[in-house]
Structure 1
Amino acid sequence: MDARTEFDENAGPLAGHYVLHLFITGATPNSTRAVRNLKDICEQYLPGRYELTIVDIYQQPELAKSEQIIAAPTLVRKQPLPVRRLIGDLSNRERTLAALDLPLRPDFEL
C-alpha cells in the first residue's frame, strides 16, 4: 500500500509523513552506505510513513541540477517542511536523526 493513502483510525491521514530524496553517485562505497543507512533509519523510525526516492545523479543529472546538488550523497527532506539537506553517507546516526527531526530512540508516538 502506498504510504500516501494509508490512514490511522484515530488520527486521519498518517501524521509525520516524510518525503525524502537521496542523491547518490552510482554504486560508490559512500553512496551504497548512504542508501543502506537511510533505509535502516526509515524502517526503524518511520515504518509506513515515508516515501524515499533515490536519484543517481549520473543517470538523472537534470534532477541534481534543479535541486542545486553540489555534493553526493545528499539527502533532501522535502516533507515535513522546512526542507532540509544533509551531505554525507549518513553514518552519523545522531546527526542524521537531528536533520530529520527524529528522536534518538524509535519508540515514540506521533
Structure 2
Amino acid sequence: MNDSITARRPNTLMPERETWKLMLYVAGQSSRSLNAYVNLTAICEQHLRGRYQIEVIDLFLHPQLAKRNQILAIPTLVRSQPKPERKIIGDLSNTERVLKSLDL
C-alpha cells in the first residue's frame, strides 16, 4: 500500500475546458488601454491558453455601450463567462490582483 496519496479536489465550479469570454472596454489607443490589452493577453496566455476570447470595445467608437453595460471608468475588463460576471478597472498591471479578481 502506498502511504503517499495525492488527493486532487475537482473544481466543481468551472469545467477545465470552459471558454472564458472577456470584454475589455477602452478609450481609443491610449497608453493605459494598450497596457491593459497587453497585460490581459499575457495573463490569458499564461493561465488560460486556448480557453479564452477577448473582445476589445472602444468606447470612443461605441459610447452608448458605456451606459448600457455600466462602465464607469476605463479601461475596464468584464468577465462575462464563466458566470458570475466580474469587473476589473485599471491597466491590469497587478497580475496577482487580476488573477484573484478573475478567480483564477
Question: Please, what TM-score do these two structures have when normalized by structure 2?
Answer: 0.81
Give the gaps of 5 or more residues in structure 1. 1-12, 103-110
Matched, 1:37 2:43: no
Equivalent pairs counted in the alignment come to: 90
Shift of 1:101: 1.1
| Aligned-partner residue type, residue 81 of structure 1 | K
Q: Percent identity at matched positions?
A: 50
User: Partners of 1:30 and 1:100 in 2: how far apart?
Assistant: 20
CA root-mean-square deviation: 1.4
Q: Which of 1 and 2 has greater Rg? A: 2
1:22 equivalent in structure 2: 24
| Deviations 1:26-65, CA, capped at 9 Å, x for gaps | 1111111000000111111111101110001001112222
2:100 equivalent in structure 1: 98
Shift of 1:15: 2.4
| Aligned-partner residue type, residue 47 of structure 1 | R
User: Partners of 1:65 and 1:72 in 2: how far apart?
Assistant: 13
User: Partners of 1:16 and 1:85 in 2: how far apart?
Assistant: 19
1:3 equivalent in structure 2: none
Shift of 1:100: 1.1
- Aligned pairs for 1:1-110 (under 5 A) are 15-102=17-104
Question: Please, what TM-score do these two structures have when normalized by structure 1?
Answer: 0.77
Give the gaps of 5 or more residues in structure 2. 1-14
Query: Which 4+ stretches in 1 moved above 2 angstroms?
Result: 13-16
